[in-house]
Amino acid sequence: MKDNILIDLSIELAIEIVELVKILKSKQQSVIANQICRSGTSVGANIHEAQYAHSRADFIAKFEIALKEANETSYWLLILYKTDYIDEQYYKKIENLCSRIKAALVSS
């Protein structure tokens, strides 16, 4: 059950990040766009990879990477908010997804 919630949240996060990257690139902000695209989409990629882990240790390692990537995504979101590339409402929306994913990963 938790895995399905994580997958759903990670897909939702990746979609939000891809849309955000489109906005950032239109504002000529490629450096941070590339960074947040990598970290934000990596969360779901690692959660998906964990589903086919070849051992318990591999499963845990994938979740740990996903947690780190979610944390990095939160960092880039904060930078974008503090530099006025995104407004508070948009920041809170995506940050809420990151927080929910981090909480679910930690509890797993």
Q: Which residue has the tokens 């591999």?
A: 58
11 to 30, 38, 77, 79: CA distances (angstroms): 22, 14, 17, 22
Higher-confidence residue of 83 and 3: namely: 83
Say what the pLDDT of residue 55 is.
95
Check: CB of residue 20 under 8 Å from CB of residue 94.
yes
Where are the domains positioned within the chain? 2-107
Superfamily classification of domain 2-107: 23S rRNA-intervening sequence (1.20.1440.60)
Mean confidence (pLDDT) of the chain: 94
Distance CA 52, CA 100 (A): 23
Question: What's the pTM value of the predicted model, to 2 decimals?
Answer: 0.91
SS3 of 53, please?
coil
- For 32-66, the pLDDT digits (tens) are 999 999 999 999 999 999 999 999 999 999 999 99
